[in-house]
Amino acid sequence: MTTEFEPVAAASPFQKLAVAMWSAPRDPSIYGSMELDATAVLAWLDDARARGPERPTITHVVARAVALALARHPDLNVRIRFGARLERRLGVDVFVSVSTNGGRDLSGTKIEGADGKSVAAIAAELRDRAARIRADEDPALAKSRGAFARLPWWLLRPAVRLTDVLANELAIDLPEQGLPRDPFGSAVVTSVGMFGIDTAFAPFVPLGRCPMLILVPEVRPRPWVVGDRIEVRPVLRLCATFDHRAIDGFRAGAFADTVRSLLADPMLL
């Protein structure tokens, strides 16, 4: 029996962009995960919610910890440009992904200078931007998505490549056209916990030019060794994708240790 195919008429804007951005898998990605006892950070979050108007989540805490860890390890805060050139970023910006359209699409916002902002400030900024995105009131997103949605499929890949050159290689800031300069910043943090996922890894977005992508799964009760006994503790399993061209195992391990220490003692955040 011959397999038959038909066009996917209901592809989301992100799916269309993804097909245009990625070619056959050949990127030098490395993957790693670590488990953390989330008892202290969950208690800290409960206290933060009781003290202020914001409702920070584990994702906001992880974004802040990643930003602080990058500030302490500036050799990881880099991007790779054409010609295999490494450039160090002078600021720490963290892109936090946001699901839209009932989970069918994906967008997000870049928190600039995230290492200098509190967890509450990150939560407030992300809340405001996410509300505009989900209400279709974000002008930059509407312009960029609208432009790509109107292009025929055979022009999508050249258009994405041109966007990459303008926003990343030439560092041209075109917010009126929905093309901000360096759109993803130093790292990407994506939460998948709301989908009931406790382990997942994600690929890099070629437009991103950032060397790490952190997934935040669901916090789940798991057996945990405490001294000489086993207890049930809430455990967060962070999953990371690193660009091996910029980050080796030694540097990834040092970065992970810093993130671990920050989340183990949330007062350091």
Look at residue 75 and tell me whether its pLDDT is greater than 80. Answer: yes
* Of residues 83 and 35, more confidently modeled: 35
pLDDT in tens, 137-170: 666 655 666 666 777 888 888 888 888 788 777 7
Look at residue 96 and tell me whether its pLDDT is greater than 90. Answer: yes
According to DSSP H, which parts of the chain are helical?
13-21, 39-51, 58-72, 119-134, 139-150, 153-164, 249-264
Q: How confident is the model over 184-200, as a mean pLDDT?
A: 90
The pLDDT value given to residue 188:
95
* Of residues 2 and 183, more confidently modeled: 183
pLDDT in tens, 40-61: 999 999 999 998 889 999 999 9
Query: Residue 83 — very low, low, confident or very high, per pLDDT cuts 50/70/90?
Result: low
The pLDDT value given to residue 152:
83
The pLDDT value given to residue 5:
44
Lowest-confidence segment of 13-27, 148-162, 182-196, 197-211 by average pLDDT: 13-27
Look at residue 102 and tell me whether its pLDDT is greater than 80. Answer: no
Mean per-residue pLDDT of the chain: 84
Look at residue 129 and tell me whether its pLDDT is greater than 60. Answer: yes
Tokens describing residue 267: 């007062």
User: What is the spatial distance between Cα 232 and Cα 38, in angstroms, rounded to a whole number?
Assistant: 11
According to DSSP H, which parts of 135-236 are helical?
139-150, 153-164
Query: Residue 245 — very low, low, confident or very high, per pLDDT cuts 50/70/90?
Result: confident
Q: How confident is the model over 207-211, as a mean pLDDT?
A: 81
Q: Which sequence spans correspond to the domains of the chain?
A: 30-134+182-268
Look at residue 90 and tell me whether its pLDDT is greater than 70. Answer: yes
User: What is the spatial distance between Cα 243 and Cα 37, in angstroms, rounded to a whole number?
Assistant: 27
The pLDDT value given to residue 104:
59
Contacts of 11 (CB under 8 A, 6+ apart): none
- What is the share, in percent, of the chain residues with pLDDT greater than 90? 44
The pLDDT value given to residue 65:
98
User: What is the spatial distance between Cα 72 and Cα 115, in angstroms, rounded to a whole number?
Assistant: 10
- DSSP secondary structure letter of residue 203: P
The pLDDT value given to residue 260:
97
**Which fold is adopted by the domain 30-134+182-268?**
Chloramphenicol Acetyltransferase (3.30.559)
Residue 27: Cβ-neighbour burial (10 angstroms; 0-12, 13-18, 19+): middle
